[in-house]
């Protein structure tokens, strides 16, 4: 059973993080420096790790509040409407007057190679005051979800206020992370590449991931989850237990956002299925994430509660 020190029966989830608009251009190959080439299509999606994870939890039926920032532009207004439409509470999504909405420009070549430039814009302006303004919802949250696309000091402030379970998704990985961000969250969750960056160890196999997990626990993490793509996830805790949780075998179509589907589902399960062990929650988060990779897109590929075969 998962202990958060809370006795409340409420099931709220608060996500403090980024909102980005993804512009994805598909081209036969990546352009060379200074070169212009013709693409085959360009699509626009609502993205950003924070909002993706909020949407993943909300699509499962979670009671989710987003704390974040968008710019004073059409994209910002549209993003807030989009989140509202998906039942994410946006009372703490602030429109920032002196910044644009975060934008990710992505070029995907036929080979699958990509080039990405992220302009964080309003996301970089998210500050500790925004978190303090949301302190009532953060203190009441059963599960707090954080990532590293917004300033690290914002995550630390939110962790200071949190009384429930906290999940820090260490993405994107940063070389010199403040040790508080390892020791304060209940769960530190990363994929293999991120685990390698945080530990300086190569992570190319499950046994490498086990070593990286031990290193993260030695650095102060309480519980570590390393997601392993189609191989599921590794759950390791300070108490010495290491569990490899498999993912269902599926025909993957698009794995973009699989990690966000996993975190959102994990948050939903930890908040709402308190009778379940952490291992069971991780197993079902793998089920949700595996399901999401069978459809194209990110947020639109995230499943509803029917994915678990329970109501």
Catalytically active residues are 260
When the beta carbons of 65 and 169 are compared against ligand ADP, the nearer one is 169
CB of 237 to ligand ADP, least distance (A): 17
71 among annotated binding-site residues? no
Rounded to the nearest 5°, which phi and psi values hold at 278?
Answer: -60, -40
Token output for 287: 């089920």
178 among annotated binding-site residues? no
When the beta carbons of 153 and 254 are compared against ligand ADP, the nearer one is 254
260 among annotated binding-site residues? yes
CB of 74 to ligand ADP, least distance (A): 29
Scan residues 254-273 and list those touching ligand ADP (CB under 6 A).
255, 258-259, 262
278 among annotated binding-site residues? no
CB of 248 to ligand ADP, least distance (A): 6
Size of the site for ligand ADP (CB under 6 A): 18
Cβ(305)–Cβ(311) below 8 Å: yes
Q: Is 94 exposed, middle or buried (0-12, 13-18, 19+ CB in 10 A)?
A: buried
Scan residues 218-237 and list those touching ligand ADP (CB under 6 A).
227-230, 232-233
Span between the terminal Cα atoms of the chain, in Å: 21
* Closest by CA position to 176, among listed 122, 127, 118, 219: 219
When the beta carbons of 160 and 206 are compared against ligand ADP, the nearer one is 206
149 among annotated binding-site residues? yes
When the beta carbons of 105 and 294 are compared against ligand ADP, the nearer one is 294
When the beta carbons of 93 and 284 are compared against ligand ADP, the nearer one is 284
Scan residues 284-303 and list those touching ligand ADP (CB under 6 A).
286, 289-290, 293
Scan residues 155-214 and list those touching ligand ADP (CB under 6 A).
191
309 among annotated binding-site residues? no
Give the C-alpha separation, 298 to 195, whole Å: 22
Give the C-alpha separation, 306 to 284, whole Å: 12
110 among annotated binding-site residues? no
Of 95, 252, 280, 305, the one binding ligand ADP (CB under 6 A) is 252
- Number of residue whose CB is nearest ligand ADP: 259
Of 133, 214, 250, 305, the one binding ligand ADP (CB under 6 A) is 250
When the beta carbons of 13 and 171 are compared against ligand ADP, the nearer one is 171
Residues at the binding site for K(+) are 254, 256, 292, 295, 297, 301
Residues at the binding site for substrate are 20-22, 48-52, 149, 260
List residues near ligand ADP by CB under 6 A. Answer: 191, 227-230, 232-233, 247, 250, 252, 255, 258-259, 262, 286, 289-290, 293
């Amino acid at each position: 059973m998962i202990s958060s020190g809370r006795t409340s029966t409420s099931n709220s989830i608060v996500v403090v993080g980024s909102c980005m608009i993804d512009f994805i251009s598909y081209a036969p190959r990546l352009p060379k420096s200074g070169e212009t080439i013709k693409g085959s299509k360009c699509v626009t999606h609502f993205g950003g790790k924070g909002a993706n994870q909020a949407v993943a939890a909300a699509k499962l039926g979670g009671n989710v509040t987003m704390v974040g920032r968008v710019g004073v532009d059409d994209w910002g207004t549209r993003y807030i409407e989009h989140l509202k439409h998906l039942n994410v509470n946006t009372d703490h999504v602030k429109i920032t007057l002196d910044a644009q909405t975060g934008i990710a420009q992505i070029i995907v070549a036929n080979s699958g190679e990509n080039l990405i430039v992220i302009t964080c814009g309003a996301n970089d302006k998210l500050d500790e005051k925004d978190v303090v303004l949301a302190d009532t919802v953060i203190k009441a949250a059963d599960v707090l979800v954080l990532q590293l696309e917004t300033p690290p000091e914002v995550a630390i402030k939110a962790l200071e206020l949190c009384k429930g379970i906290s999940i820090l998704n260490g993405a994107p990985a940063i070389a010199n992370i403040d040790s508080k961000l390892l020791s304060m969250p209940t769960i530190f969750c990363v994929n293999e590449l991120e685990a390698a960056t945080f530990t300086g160890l190569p992570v190319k196999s499950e046994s490498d991931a086990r070593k990286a997990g031990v290193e993260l626990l030695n650095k102060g993490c309480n519980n570590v989850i390393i997601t392993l793509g189609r191989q599921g996830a590794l759950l390791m805790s300070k108490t010495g237990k290491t569990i490899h949780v498999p993912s269902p075998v599926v025909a993957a179509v698009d794995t973009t956002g699989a990690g966000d589907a996993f975190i959102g589902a994990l948050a939903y399960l930890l908040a709402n299925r308190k009778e379940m062990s952490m291992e069971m929650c991780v197993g079902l988060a793998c089920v949700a994430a595996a399901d999401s990779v069978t459809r194209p897109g990110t947020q639109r590929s995230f499943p509803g509660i029917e994915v678990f075969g329970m109501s």
